[in-house]
Structures are given as C-alpha cells and as structure tokens.
C-alpha cells in the first residue's frame, strides 16, 4: 500500500513538472532455446530417457513501459558560486577618439601572500617622491564568483552536464510457437545526457528484471519457471512532435541459472539471451557496412519504440 501511494505521488509530480508517460517498443531478440523432455513412451522393458532440441531463434518481444523521466531534475555539476575578495587600482586612461577627455578604469591586481592593503599602500606612498610616479592606491572589493561547469569535455560529452535522471517500469512479452513463452517485468534507473536540448538525448539505464518462462512440452504440457536477472540499455531518443518521442536502444539482459522457487528445471530446459549486437558479433567480410549488416542491426540488434508524454 505504501509503495502504491509513493508511486502515485511520484507519478503526479512527474506529470506536473517532468516528463512522464507510456512507451511502446519492439525488438527481435536473439536467443538460444534448449528444450528437453522425458520420453517414457517406450516399451515396458526400456528405461525412460531425455530427448530434446537446441535451437537459435529470435523472439519477437513487445514491451509496454511506464516512464518517469526528469522526476529528479538533472543539474549541471558546477563549482559553488561564492563571494571572494579581490584587489583593484584606479588608473587614468589617456584621451582618445572615443573618450576625448580620458577616463578612469579599474584594474585587478595581486598583492601576494602575507601582505595587506595597508602595507602595500604605505610602501608605495613613501617609495616615490614624485607624485606623478606614485602608484595608485590599492583597494579591495567583495566580488561574486559565478558557478563554473566542472569537467573539461566539451558539450554533451561532459558527464557533469545533466539532462535529468530517469526511471520506470517495463512489461515484456515474447513467444516462440511450440517452444517457449516469455514474460518479464523490469524496473530501471538511469540518466539522460544532452545532444540537443529538448530535442535529442542519449541515455543509459540499468535495473533488475523478473521473468517467467512457460516451456511447451509434449502434449501441450507447460512447465513454468520464474527467474530473477538484470538488464541494461543504452540508446538515443528524439522528439518528433510535441509529446511524442522516437527512441532506439541496444539492450542486454540475463537471468539466474536456477528458478526462484528452488525447484528442479524439468529436463534442464533453458532460454539464454544472446547479449551482443549481431552486426558486431558476426564476421562480416572486410567489415563492410553492407545490406546484411544493416538488416541484422535492425532485425536483431536494436529496440525501436515510441514514447507518449502525459
């Protein structure tokens, strides 16, 4: 109950002040499916044995997400603004076309370590006999030093430039006929970085995931398991219309080898995600970005989706 109340307050805050909404996305995910079952349909005098298949497939995964971007505003990491004491002298600038009668200008000076304004002025006052050669008196002022962005990388490459923290929930579904059904829920946190303010961002996110597998065995017998894992993703998003964003991301996920309930996996069936972008995991001839490279990138490597902001 407390979690629901906190989530409701967070949602109201996000919708009012931040960037919250619903996302829909699709990815063709490369997987290795191993399905084994106990074959006991033999003659009475023959022992039962396991038989099965190992197959490489791509699961057509559809995801629906609830996102709360920028609920915690991302602020640039800057040095703290503060008042500092600085030292100045007044000098006379000779007449010019722009200032025909001349003018006084203020010039910042350093007085060194261990000295004081009084010491500097007394020494300069008695050092020169000629008033024309006298050094102007030094005086101090409290000056506000503006905050400065930390880091040395330019623009959006600077990790100290904040575009907001993100988090949300994903609900995923995928299936392969006569093999497996996959359901999962993700919770993630992450951060966005500017490419173009308000128009385009890059982002990364990471979080836990809980998945349920329904393995389809002989005679439509379903063996169900629940496993816990983790996923992370990196992507870019751009605004196409007010309140509508398009995004594309690379996603990697994996789950524990044992079920959460501690039960024994029937026949040791399993599903493993192939956590590599296909265009970079295959030996493409001369590393050419040809049609096959782009086809595999789109059909197996990248998640594509749309975000609708409340």
List the domain range (segments joined by +) for residue 87. 82-145
More confident residue, 213 or 2: 213
Q: Are residues 165 and 21 part of one domain?
A: yes
CB atoms within 10 A of CB 142: 8
Strongest mean pLDDT among 9-18, 49-58, 259-268: 49-58
Lowest-confidence range among 206-215, 251-260, 290-299?
A: 290-299
Shortest CA distance to 273 belongs to which of 253, 296, 249?
Answer: 253
Please report, for the domain that includes residue 274, its CATH number.
2.40.160.20
Q: Each residue of 90-145: pLDDT tens digit?
A: 988 899 998 899 899 999 998 888 778 888 888 777 665 555 566 788 999 999 98
pLDDT value, residue 301: 76
Q: Are residues 220 and 293 part of one domain?
A: yes
Q: Is the pLDDT of residue 234 over 60?
A: yes
Domain count, the chain: 2
Q: Are residues 156 and 213 part of one domain?
A: yes
Q: Which of 113, 130, 145 is the last residue of a domain?
A: 145
Q: Are residues 269 and 173 part of one domain?
A: yes
Q: Are residues 252 and 184 part of one domain?
A: yes
60, β-bridge pairs: 28
Q: Are residues 162 and 47 part of one domain?
A: yes
Q: Are residues 87 and 73 part of one domain?
A: no
Q: Each residue of 169-202: pLDDT tens digit?
A: 999 999 887 788 899 999 999 988 777 766 788 8
From start to end of the chain, where are the E strands?
19-39, 49-69, 82-93, 103-109, 139-145, 165-176, 180-196, 200-216, 222-241, 244-255, 270-273, 302-309
Q: Which of 122, 145, 168 is the last residue of a domain?
A: 145
Q: Each residue of 194-216: pLDDT tens digit?
A: 777 667 888 999 999 999 988 77
Residue with the two structure tokens 């905050």: 147
Q: Are residues 140 and 46 part of one domain?
A: no
């Amino acid at each position: 109950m407390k979690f629901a109340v906190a989530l409701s307050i967070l949602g109201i805050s996000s919708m009012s002040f931040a960037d919250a909404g619903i996302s829909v996305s699709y990815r063709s995910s490369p997987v290795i499916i191993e399905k084994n079952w106990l074959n006991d349909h033999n003659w009475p005098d023959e022992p039962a044995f396991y038989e099965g298949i190992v197959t490489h497939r791509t699961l057509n995964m559809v995801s629906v997400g609830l996102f709360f971007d920028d609920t915690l505003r991302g602020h640039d990491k800057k040095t703290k603004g503060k008042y500092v004491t600085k030292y100045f002298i007044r000098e006379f600038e000779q007449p010019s076309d722009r200032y025909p009668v001349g003018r006084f200008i203020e010039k910042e000076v350093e007085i060194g370590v261990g000295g004081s304004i009084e010491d500097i002025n007394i020494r300069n006052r008695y050092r020169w006999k000629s008033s024309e050669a006298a050094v102007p008196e030094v005086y101090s002022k409290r000056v506000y030093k503006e905050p400065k962005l930390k880091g040395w990388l330019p623009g959006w490459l600077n990790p100290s430039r904040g575009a907001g923290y993100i988090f949300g929930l994903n609900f995923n579904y995928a299936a392969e006929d006569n093999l497996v059904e996959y359901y999962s829920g993700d919770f993630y946190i992450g951060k966005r970085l500017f490419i173009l303010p308000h128009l385009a961002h890059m982002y990364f996110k990471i979080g836990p995931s809980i998945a349920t597998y329904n393995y389809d065995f002989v005679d439509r017998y379903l063996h169900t398991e629940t496993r816990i894992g983790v996923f992370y993703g990196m992507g870019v998003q751009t605004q196409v219309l007010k309140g509508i964003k398009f995004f594309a991301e690379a996603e990697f996920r994996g789950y524990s080898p044992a079920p959460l309930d501690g039960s024994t996996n029937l026949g040791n069936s399993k599903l493993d995600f192939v956590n590599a972008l296909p265009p970079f995991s295959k030996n493409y001839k001369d590393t050419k970005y040809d049609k096959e490279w782009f086809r595999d990138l789109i059909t197996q490597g990248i998640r594509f989706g749309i975000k609708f902001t409340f």
